[in-house]
Amino acid sequence: MDLKQQILEKSFDLFMRYGIKSITMDDIAKELGISKKTLYQYVENKTDLIEQIFHRHIDEEKQAIDAIRQHSSDAIDEMLGIAKHVINELRTVSANVLYDLQKYYPPTWAMMEGLQKKHIFTVIKENLERGIRQGLYRANLNADIIAKLYVGKAMLLIDDDFFPLQNYNISDLYREYIYYHIHGIASAKGQQLLEKHLVLRTLQ
């Protein structure tokens, strides 16, 4: 692993554990055992570092989700697999990270939100179309509308006015959201398959 990758990985780890605002460039340099001068050879400033980190993270998430989709047995298995992955990821995130991004780095937050919305919409729409073909989701669903509703409601999970982070665990919110989503779109056949899947894989 080259130094640039080490910088991005270590910084991401520190931000996820302690929040973005509380970690300084001095902290990152010290953790890596390098000077700030060396650190600034790879990033312009903290804002540039954060943008590079989250661009990389979004790309990694896309790859992880693509792998889950390719190895899933059906549309419901795919949704549960993605949900399990997301919940595991959310457990590593400090409650301060999303707040810090929105408050102190709004351009980076807007970039992330835009990329995530576009990617999530595509994934969910294709999952809906797959589920309809397999007879697991209701045949009369409008995949475009449901996918947009899914994205819109997903954004509410990280809206501090609706779900203050001090009062709600975000992985619990996401788990309830996924169950709500699948039960709302599944056909009778899909409901039965969901119960079978949940015997083998609970979203804990």
**DSSP assignment of 97-134:** HHHHHHHH-HHHHHHHHHHHHHHHHHHHHHHHHHHHHT
Question: Letter for the amino acid at 141?
Answer: L
Note whether 187 and 138 are within 8 A (CB).
yes
pLDDT of residue 112: 82
pLDDT of residue 161: 87
* Predicted model pTM: 0.88
pLDDT of residue 165: 77
pLDDT of residue 30: 96
In the predicted model, residues of the chain with pLDDT beneath 70 are 1, 204
Phi/psi for 82 (5° steps) reads: -65, -45
pLDDT of residue 204: 61
Question: Letter for the amino acid at 33?
Answer: G
pLDDT of residue 159: 83
CA angle 88/94/100 to nearest 5° reads 130
Note whether 42 and 4 are within 8 A (CB).
yes
